[in-house]
Amino acid sequence: MDEYYLGEYQNYIDGVWQSPKSGALMEVRCPGNGAVVSRVPDSGKEDIDAAVACAKRAFEQEDWAFQPRLRSSVLYQWAQAMRQHLNPLARALSLETGKPIAEALFEVNGAIGYLEYYASATRTLFGGSTAVDKNSLSVLCREPVGVVAGITPWNYPITLLMRDLASALAAGNTIIIKPAEQTTACTFEVVKLLELVPSMPKGVVNAVSGRGAAAGNALVEHSDVDMVSFTGGVETGKKIMKTGADTMKKLSLELGGKSPNIIFADANLDKALPFAIKAIFTNAGQLCTVGSRLVIEESIADTFLARMKTEVEKLKLGFGLNEDTQMGPVISEKQMQKILGYIEDGLQTGELVTGGRRVTENGLDSGFFIAPTIIKNPAHDSRVVQEEIFGPVLVVETFRTEEEAVSLANGTIYGLAGAVWSKDIDKAMRVARKLRTGSAWVNCYNKLFPECETGGYKQSGVDRAGGVEGLMKYTEVKHLCVDFA
Ligand code: NAD
């Protein structure tokens, strides 16, 4: 299995690769076949202190903070380096997460898209001016926040890394990245490409690997970290909000979801069907915006589900690097057991349409594979309907009226995304406007672009990522007043 070993990694601090002070390493295994894929630093507070000191120094030198043209050029060069290394990056990503290689390639390209978008946007950071009275002028300037900690999850580790990193850097901040424990190697492979970008000033980008409770928490507690940009689960987000309060940090929290995909009887069902399948089973359901609740008009539910079952049962599960694999494993044994527990809970009140079990046939017994699962009409207040599962499990709820559809769709603590399908555009727009979600798609699903914001209403988060808002959140607004009396 040595062919799957990516190597032993070090932290990247002040432009130098270095071992954690304790020397401790964590072993990372591929969730598809159990092979050891990397050994990565199990860093502690002292490593975080060193990285924060470098990021602070780099920020205060101002070579970076006040040079948008340099930032633009550096971000473009990094994007180019990533494009030249597309295949090895996608391979590392697939090995660490188990995701199909085609999805891994798509993800790396997505990350390049963020870099290129923010490489341009950095030259458009605008402020404003106000003529407050005859002898003074108020200028509103955008300035970087300072030292940012970027804490990322494992499910889309390269795209989400760049969604944070590219925008934080574009705004002129310096950064310390703390990747998820499971996906350090692919993250660090992206950082390594900075060797091809010599004009990037040292200390602007730092990357420290470690556990959330140790390295992650040390970043959130640190008094010299001005902002934490976190993408991950709601419970971790709440902890970070509480800890960050002690030093009054600026926070951006991109959290979980339980997103409704509403299909009316008058929708184009031939178009809706593949979208509904992809909406939930992409990345084995491990995507924050997955359409994990199908909210469907009662009159078409049985025929639509019969068609869905036929298609879903054709999905080929397998090892991510096999070209014909359409769905990979879930990330860990612990997560697999958790998902199987949710399925059991759902079947107390709901009806199994397909799936509902671990898959071990055809050599999949050393990975964590779960059959794509659909459960019809579990109780609305059951855990399987109310909680984010983060696995290949779709729950189906049926409705009779437009009001009922909206009420079911909005009936969880989450508000990340949602979709409406209908050929009646008045009705579709009415419902889309009523969704309490940061993204609302009409007659499509999961259309995400670097140019457009995503983020959560309710407990799905604070602030937005992507687009202009995703850049501005990394800035402070300064009121500069000139008196010429
Ligand atoms: P997680 O919350 O367990 O971990 C995310 C990151 O936080 C990891 O790097 C982890 O090490 C770190 N962390 C954990 N505890 C910490 C602490 N106390 N202090 C500081 N850092 C800590 O999430 P996960 O399992 O990696 O990712 C899955 C979750 O992420 C899902 O809920 C998913 O919906 C969410 N997510 C949201 C978005 C979005 O854009 N809204 C995108 C992707 C994933």
* DSSP code string of 325-378: --B---S-HHHHHHHHHHHHHHHHHSEEEE--SEE-TTTTTTS-EE--EEEE--
The pLDDT value given to residue 227: 98
The pLDDT value given to residue 62: 81
Using the structure block, give the residue that is written with the tokens 């987000």. 237
Name the residue among 288, 69, 71 with its Cα closest to residue 174: 71
Identify the CATH homologous superfamily for domain 260-449: Aldehyde Dehydrogenase; Chain A, domain 2 (3.40.309.10)
Identify residue 186 by its one-letter amino acid code: C
Residues 6+ apart with CB under 8 A from 171: 122, 125, 142, 144, 145, 471, 472, 474, 475
Using the structure block, give the residue that is written with the tokens 């199909």. 100
Ligand 1 contacts (CB < 6 A) are 151-156, 160, 178, 180-181, 212-213, 216-217, 220, 231-233, 236, 239-240, 254-257, 288, 388, 390, 416, 461, 465
Task: For CA atoms 265, 266, 267, 268, give the dihedral sign.
Answer: positive
| pLDDT single digits (tens) 304-320 | 999 999 999 999 999 99
The pLDDT value given to residue 63: 84
Identify residue 245 by its one-letter amino acid code: A
The pLDDT value given to residue 2: 86
Atom of ligand 1 nearest to the CA of 254: 41
pTM for this predicted structure: 0.97
Catalytic residue among 288, 297, 397, 402: 288
The pLDDT value given to residue 134: 94
Task: Report how far ligand 1's centroid is from the alpha carbon of 465 (Å).
Answer: 15
The topology (CATH level 3) of 7-255+460-481 is: Aldehyde Dehydrogenase; Chain A, domain 1 (3.40.605)
Atom of ligand 1 nearest to the CA of 236: 2
Task: Report how far ligand 1's centroid is from the alpha carbon of 317 (Å).
Answer: 25
Which of 48, 231, 242 most suits a substitution to test ligand 1, by most atoms within 8 Å of the C-beta? 231
CA pair distance 232, 342, nearest whole angstrom: 20
The pLDDT value given to residue 1: 58
User: How many other C-beta atoms are found inside a 10 Å radius of the C-beta of residue 360?
Assistant: 11
Catalytic residue among 116, 254, 297, 402: 254
CA pair distance 301, 265, nearest whole angstrom: 9
Residue 476 is among the residues annotated as catalytic for this protein: no
Atom of ligand 1 nearest to the CA of 180: 9
The pLDDT value given to residue 192: 98
Residue 288 is among the residues annotated as catalytic for this protein: yes
Task: Report how far ligand 1's centroid is from the alpha carbon of 331 (Å).
Answer: 13
Q: Where in the chain is the domain with CATH 3.40.309.10?
A: 260-449
Which of 43, 288, 452, 469 most suits a substitution to test ligand 1, by most atoms within 8 Å of the C-beta? 288
Q: Where in the chain is the domain with CATH 3.40.605.10?
A: 7-255+460-481
Residues of the chain short of pLDDT 70, as ranges, are: 1
Using the structure block, give the residue that is written with the tokens 């409770």. 213
